[in-house]
């Protein structure tokens, strides 16, 4: 057995090309990522409430005036305020989440209705087309009338669902 009929994997080291000079180094003619414009903070970033910031400043000033023996009371007051803010923000986010869930459900329901109407239109359109083509002397006129009725029903449904979504 001299050599196997297939090439060994991975290929031996002597067959690999040597790396090019500057390989893996940033090109000087392209902008460097650290110099790119800064990205805005990701949501749900909110600026601190001015009232909360003033309360924190007041608590810090009170600590400086009263001394370290009142530190626990000041910290407890700040902790209460933070807990109130967290509860308020959590309730706000839950309300937004509930609204978006309702919107998604409405969209999903509307998509299902449109899909079902399309399937029913096609399912009834085939026999109606056959009947209209055979029962009218000019078959094309009957087919056009049948499909105009089907398109009309679909258009009225689409128009009605758009009006509901705007309200």
Q: pLDDT (tens digit, 9 = 90+) per residue, 78-129?
A: 888 888 888 888 888 888 888 888 888 877 887 888 888 888 988 988 888 8
Mean per-residue pLDDT for 49-65?
Answer: 81
Tokens of 36: 């790119």
Tell me if the pTM is above 0.75.
Answer: no
Q: How far is CA 77 from the centre of its chain?
A: 39
Residue in the block written with tokens 């040597």: 18
| Mean pLDDT of the chain, nearest integer | 76
As a whole number of angstroms, the distance between CA 68 and CA 83 comes to 23
Query: According to the model, what pLDDT value does residue 45 have?
Result: 61
Is 70 exceeded by the pLDDT of residue 2? no
pLDDT at 95: 87
Q: What percent of the chain has pLDDT over 90?
A: 1
């Amino acid at each position: 057995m001299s050599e196997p009929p297939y090439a060994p994997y991975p290929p031996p080291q002597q067959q690999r090309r040597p790396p090019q000079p500057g390989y893996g180094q940033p090109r000087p003619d392209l902008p460097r990522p650290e110099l790119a414009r800064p990205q805005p903070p990701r949501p749900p970033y909110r600026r601190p409430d001015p009232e909360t910031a003033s309360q924190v400043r007041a608590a810090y000033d009170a600590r400086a005036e009263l001394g370290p023996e009142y530190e626990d009371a000041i910290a407890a007051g700040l902790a209460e305020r933070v807990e109130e803010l967290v509860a308020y923000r959590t309730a706000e986010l839950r309300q937004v989440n509930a609204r978006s869930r309702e919107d998604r459900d409405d969209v999903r329901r509307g998509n299902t209705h449109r899909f079902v109407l399309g399937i029913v239109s096609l399912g009834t359109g085939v026999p109606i087309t056959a009947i209209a083509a055979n029962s009218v002397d000019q078959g094309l006129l009957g087919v056009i009338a049948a499909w105009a009725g089907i398109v009309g029903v679909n258009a009225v449904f689409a128009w009605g669902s758009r009006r509901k979504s705007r309200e």
